[in-house]
Homo-oligomer: A and B are copies of this chain.
């Protein structure tokens, strides 16, 4: 009997969550197998809305430009309500679809199939990642007694080929890739970790005895992607059309198509979604949009479903060997456009933790780091359901507070409200178990996502967005906000910190400087990259006079010019004003740890190097006790 094939990570489901998770393992030797029962990538339909955080993730995966180029930007939201005389609907207001803090596009639209396409393309060149369509798991056994520090494969799963009949008769799509369906039957796979990204009817969730807590709602929705023939004047805007029978959500798609979410009936007379027809859905839409006309030209996709608002009882099981992501552990209404976003963000939270552990960078208690996945993402899903329940109330009656409340909702759906709790990966300031309100006010808070601020490179004044700069390599970043380093006092502090950061014996050099010589490739493998943002006049700073950790040398690639930034004006794109936006003291500065997923891990004083060391000890990347000379 042959030995079963062994992979590091087995991912069930190649939708947005599964593909995003797999993207974390590019440029590594971690072996990954994705399986999906579908015969190929999703051809159409499903989710569409992308929020800025999700687009930042695509930037970090290196596929941002393509996705942005193909996406449709959403600029305006129109709120319509019933006319006072009872005859039809009237436009109540038009809201700009923006959140000032972001300084960038808040919301774009691209259909799930295209998002999946780009994430798939991005895996092609990586031989450590394989994908098999028409494949489903049939059994899984997990031995949760193994240590995460060993090299065991405690998961045994069997896979089976899905015949065309089983996959709802859907014809295989044309996959021009080396990942064509494998025709083998009943293969056994051993794995170190397993991730269930297999949607609302998750197979793995059932195997793990995880239950969805919450309820189906009283809402049955039809969703239709089509070419509208209508004289409704706001058909190219996002619209909420409020009526007694429910609220239609209009979302423009690329070119001339539009998506409508149409409440079909509510209350006691709930229809069975399976019995709904396109005609009935369109009739319900016409009733709400009257007196405007509405006919459907070509319909490219439609569906009907009853909304559930449920969260999984667990997001991980078996001592952090098995994980559930995306729709497998949370379902909610489509109104806030959170489905694909939350799935991708779940994966973005989990992937780097697995990568760090599998690459051997975590020397102690990896399960503590892996446990932060559930601790961080389950509350997000719970908040999302709570938000979902309250969201429609916003539209139920005119309110003098509407603008404020709608803006708050936009911030929520953009993810700006998320703050992960204290954990091995989130260090709160010394002496504080909980952050006080004053610290919460600032925009540089452990557990929150680092604002995607704009800076310019010291070397050449080209513009960088910090989240794009922090590509998804698995590396942490220590970002030193150094203040006005044209002042000798502040320059001296930066240099002192630089010595600590680069010192392999007494400092963090084991994490920031490669062992094996001076090769560029080695520099790319260190788990912590050091970056500097200063606010001095650019012409008064000499890059090559800074400590080497800030502009390291490699024999084959020369200096790394791309670690030092100025909070200065770009020739074309204006001033990022980082210090104002993050409420930083230009005469004091601070030092931050940013996690591989772009969330702030720690904020410490420039000279509080022990707290830096403690952070990486907490993650398990430095040993206790501290080695000293």
Chain A positions near chain B (C-beta within 8 angstroms): 65-66, 68-69, 72-73, 75-76, 94, 96-98, 104-105, 227-229, 231, 233, 236-237, 252, 255-256, 297-298, 456-457, 459-463, 539, 542-544, 555-562, 570-572
Contact = CB atoms under 8 A, between A and B. Distances in A.
A227 B558 contact: yes
Given A298-B556, A557-B297, A571-B97, A75 B233 contact: no
Contacts of A227: 556-558
Contacts of A460: 75-76, 236-237, 252
Contacts of A229: 558
A97 B557 CA distance: 27
Nearest to A238: B460
17 contacts: A65-B65, A65-B66, A65-B68, A73-B463, A75-B571, A76-B460, A76-B571, A97-B571, A104-B572, A227-B556, A229-B558, A233-B544, A236-B459, A256-B558, A256-B560, A297-B556, A297-B558
B228 A462 contact: no
Contacts of A96: 571
Given A227-B557, A560-B256, A461 B571 contact: no
A75 B461 contact: yes
Given A460-B75, A571-B75, A539 B94 contact: yes
Contact of A462 (B73, B463, B556): B73
Nearest to A65: B69
A571 B459 contact: no
Contacts of A72: 462
Nearest to A297: B558
A456 B233 CA distance: 17
Nearest to A463: B73
A558 B253 CA distance: 14
Contacts of A297: 555-558
Nearest to A237: B460
A553 to B, nearest CB: 9
A556 B257 CA distance: 11
A297 B518 CA distance: 13
A58 to B, nearest CB: 12
Given A76-B461, A98-B572, A571-B98, A233 B559 contact: no
Given A76-B461, A462-B73, A228 B94 contact: no
Contacts of A73: 462-463
Contacts of A76: 460-461, 571
Contacts of A562: 255
Contacts of A457: 236
B97 A542 contact: no
Contacts of A231: 544
A557 B252 contact: no
Nearest to A296: B558
B542 A233 contact: yes
Contact of A543 (B69, B233, B555, B556): B233
A256 B65 contact: no
A462 B75 contact: yes
B560 A105 contact: no
Closest 5 CB pairs of A and B: A65-B69, A236-B460, A236-B459, A75-B461, A227-B558
A285 B1 CA distance: 67
A229 to B, nearest CB: 5
Contacts of A555: 297
A457 B231 CA distance: 18
Nearest to A252: B460
Contacts of A298: 556-557
Instruction: Find the residue from A98, A539, A561 having the highest chain B CB count within 10 A.
Output: A561
A151 to B, nearest CB: 36
Contacts of A65: 65-66, 68-69
Contacts of A236: 457, 459-460, 561
A76 B463 CA distance: 12
A304 B297 CA distance: 62
Contacts of A255: 562
A149 B627 CA distance: 86
Contacts of A68: 65
Contacts of A561: 236, 256
A544 to B, nearest CB: 6
Contacts of A572: 75, 98, 104-105
Nearest to A459: B236
A596 to B, nearest CB: 22
Given A97-B571, A236-B457, A237-B460, 17 more contacts: A65-B66, A65-B68, A66-B66, A76-B460, A96-B571, A104-B572, A105-B572, A227-B557, A227-B558, A233-B542, A236-B561, A252-B460, A255-B562, A256-B560, A297-B555, A297-B557, A297-B558
